[in-house]
Amino acid sequence: MTGSLISTLEGRYYTDPAIFAREQANIFEKMWFCAVKSGDLAAPGDFRTVQVGRESVLIARDRHGNLNAFLNVCRHRGARICVDEAGSVKRAFQCPYHAWTYALDGKLIAAPNLTSMPDVDRVEYGLTKVHLREWLGYAWVNLADDPPSFSDDVLSAVTERLGSLEGIDGYEIDQLSVGRRIVYDVKANWKLIIENFMECYHCATIHPELTEVLPEFADGYAAQYYVGHGAEFGDDIKGFTVDGSEGFEKLAALEEERDRKYYAITIKPQVFINLVPDHVILHRMYPVAVDRTIVECDWLYAKEVVDTGRDVSRSVELFHRVNEQDFEACERCQPAMASRAYARGGVLVPSEHHIGGFHEWLVQKLESAD
């Protein structure tokens, strides 16, 4: 191989169910995982179930206003407590099998004949708790008994990309509201999606609308290539919209130096954050099979933009097209991962070198658990 090119992972990393199972156990079930938008669970009893690795996780707001996360498994015989993806209960969760009943904080509060078993500890036999932390207006969960540092696992990605953690503060993401949410069912391995998001070598080929707004992307260098660098809007571009027309007012706390610039952050293993002056786009990936990934994408705006019903369609359409273009490309790659032509992998050009770093990180995660 020439000095300009870098080897990729072998094709089996994208097709082998055994490797995917190891990723579930050693990455998604051990690292911090962005699960739900906190504001989606506004009232006591509101809940959502989320697949994290091989586990179904139940996240709910209790009567004190706190969010809690549990494994979605009854402590009696293992039935799934909630089969719905989202909903609300009045006071408690009840297993539909034998009616074991749990408070919103997970404590066992009732079961048939429970009073005749005074030795049963209602806390010990409550729902199995999962670590939860809120950041940027989202609930992040961790399934490990001893979770890694949130700073090392999550916040460091912001520092590495923007140069400091304070670089994200001006967007006040936790104060923004969801203006649009689109869920994509992508028939591709989760790593193909991450690799695609990390580079812009493909941008001139498949993203005509994006490169019109961000001309430097046509040269193949993604914003994530440089620490602290923001891709500047084109001279005639007024806003981060599908036609370059004017968007909304700059977010109130945003520094002038970040106006008319786009920043992208990858937070391993499953979050993308896109920062522009008047809104934020946040992707969450839910890998469900070796060749299938659910991607939930939120377009976040200042509260007054959403509350007054202002038209967000032009800004949504820009990145919706980018998403569809990217996911189609990933789906085009997925079948070829099983080809004998890709058995030893492919190659990366110099502008994609940071994908090589991602591959090294992945292999280290898998090997460290062996």
Examine the domain organization and report whether 20 and 41 are in the same domain: no
Query: Which DSSP helix (H) or strand (E) runs through 93?
Result: strand 92-94
Query: Are both 256 and 358 inside the same structural domain?
Result: yes
- Determine the pLDDT at residue 81: 97
Looking at the fold, whether 141 and 41 belong to one and the same domain comes out as: yes
> What is the pLDDT, as a whole number, of residue 223?
60
Q: 308-317, long-range: CB within 8 Å, 24+ apart, which pairs? A: 310/248, 312/179, 312/180, 312/279, 314/239, 314/241, 314/242, 314/243, 314/245, 314/247, 315/239, 315/240, 315/241, 315/242, 315/247, 315/248, 315/278, 315/279, 316/179, 316/180, 316/182, 317/241, 317/242
- Whole-number pLDDT of residue 354: 86
Q: Within 13 Å, how many C-alpha atoms sit on residue 100's CB side?
A: 19
Q: What's the residue count for the chain?
A: 370
| DSSP category for residue 127 | P
Compute the distance between CA of residue 56 and CA of residue 50 in angstroms, rounded to an integer.
6
Tell me the CATH number at 49: 2.102.10.10
Is there a single domain that holds both residue 243 and residue 307?
A: yes
Q: What is the pLDDT, as a whole number, of residue 226? A: 75
The residue from 93, 121, 147 where one domain ends is 147
Q: How far apart are CA 189 and CA 194, in angstroms?
A: 9
Domain boundary among 87, 114, 147: 147
Shared-domain flag, residues 349 and 220: yes
**Pairing mode, strands 292-301 and 6-7:** unpaired
Give the contacts of 245 (CB within 8 A, at least 6 positions apart). Answer: 238, 239, 314
The pLDDT of residue 351: 86
Domain coverage including residue 1: 1-29+149-369
Q: Kindly report whether the peptide bond that precedes residue 44 is cis, defined as omega within 30 degrees of 0.
A: no
Instruction: Return the half-sphere exposure (C-beta side, CA atoms, 13 A cut-off) of residue 220.
Output: 9
Residue pair 293/208 in contact by the 8 Å Cβ criterion: no
Q: What is the CATH number of the domain that holds 216?
A: 3.90.380.10
pLDDT at 353: 85
Same domain, 302 and 353: yes
Q: Do 143 and 153 have their domain in common?
A: no
CA distances from 50 to 106, 114, 290 (A): 17, 30, 18
Per-residue model confidence as pLDDT tens for the chain (370 residues): 668 999 999 999 999 999 999 999 999 999 999 999 999 999 999 999 999 999 999 999 999 999 999 999 999 999 999 999 999 999 999 999 999 999 999 999 999 888 888 887 877 889 999 999 999 999 999 999 999 999 999 999 999 999 999 999 999 999 999 999 999 999 999 999 999 999 999 999 999 999 999 999 998 877 666 788 899 999 999 999 999 999 999 999 999 999 999 999 999 999 999 999 999 999 999 999 999 999 999 999 999 999 999 999 999 999 999 999 999 999 999 999 999 999 999 999 988 888 999 999 999 999 986 5
Separation in Å, CA 203 to CA 188, 224, 253, 270, 276: 19, 13, 30, 21, 18
Domain end, chosen from 118, 147, 176, is at: 147
DSSP 1: -
Whether 68 and 175 map to the same domain: the answer is no
Spatial contact of 31 and 155, defined as CB atoms under 8 Å apart = no
Q: How many domains does the chain have?
A: 2
- Which helix (H) or strand (E) segment holds residue 318: the answer is helix 313-333
Confirm if 91 and 44 have CB atoms less than 8 A apart. Answer: no
Residues 200 and 61 occupy one common structural domain: no
Q: What is the pLDDT of residue 228?
A: 87
Based on the fold, state whether residues 19 and 65 are members of the same structural domain: no
What is the reported pLDDT for 155?
A: 97
pLDDT of amino acid 227: 85
The predicted structure's pLDDT at residue 297? 98
CB 217, CB 204: distance < 8 Å: yes
Q: Are residues 112 and 136 in the same domain?
A: yes
Same domain, 313 and 193: yes
